[in-house]
Amino acid sequence: MNSFLFVDLFAGIGGFHLALHQLGGQCVYASELDSFARKTYEANFKNISPSLFEKNLFRGDITLDENQECIPYNVDILCAGFPCQAFSIAGLQKGFSDSRGTLFFEIAKILKNKQPKSFLLENVRHLLKHDDGKTFDVIYNILTKELSYTVYYKIIKASDHGLPTFRPRVYIVGFRHDIEKKEEFKFPDSSSLKFTMSDVFEGECSKKIGKTIIVGGRGSGINDKRNWDAYLVDAQIKVLTPKEAKKMMGYPSDFVFPVSNTQALKQLGNSVAIDPVRAIANNILKIIK
């Protein structure tokens, strides 16, 4: 029997789903708009969470009222890796002036209407500094003052939790005001690497920890400052394929991509890293359970 219930918003290929399922959670609602990501999500979670698909609870556009109405009330954890392009260095950093940036307000609306016990949000670290910190001030004030959640946030690298990729991201954790906390929430302590890039490539790699997988700049060449996918392995240049990339991100070897390699790498570049999410969610459960 599953020990807690969660929803997976802006689900991508299901990094949150996988991490929380590993902790014994049941996903009771998910949404993802991108058709390619939906294909990958369904291929990997149809057997793990069949009711999502049997009951039409894997929805598309989260801005539609009909899709928000299907979200259950009072779930244990609401997860959302809300679109980061509006806040990232790789994008134009338009923030809330970008339609993708305004999707945060959809999360706020859902939190207000559905009142989950807690939430776990993920975004690029530059969210904290965007517009001299004003963007995050708006987010923080909405979560704490308007919605009355107790909020914690921290920049965490995937390499701090065992994975051989830096991938620094800001994680935002919140608890509903009426949740009695027997102890103060703390982000998990760092852990040592479980394996290195040599293990990823199954050969001697010149780098112990790999670069962050991103959406752009693929194939720029090992000497280009934009390079993230080319490595020196056994004195030869090797380029990341989805096989190596998913291992770097903590996905299991049997995780499948029913899309092109280009799409698969793009999807991994937009995904959350599994191990830090699982570690943070485990500490959330210590509070709410």
| Residue 84 is a catalytic residue | yes
Of the listed 27, 70, 79, 84, which one is catalytic? 84
Q: Which position has the token pair 């004003």?
A: 134
- CB atoms near residue 222 (< 10 Å): 13
Determine the Cα–Cα distance for residues 157 and 159; give it in Å rounded to an integer. Answer: 5
| Short-list 210, 176, 180, CA closest to 193 | 210
Phi-psi bin for 119: left (phi > 0), alpha (psi -120 to 50), beta? beta
Determine the Cα–Cα distance for residues 153 and 167; give it in Å rounded to an integer. Answer: 16
Record the tokens describing residue 156, joined without a space: 């965490």
CB 152 within 8 A of CB 207: no
Among all residues, which ones are annotated catalytic?
84
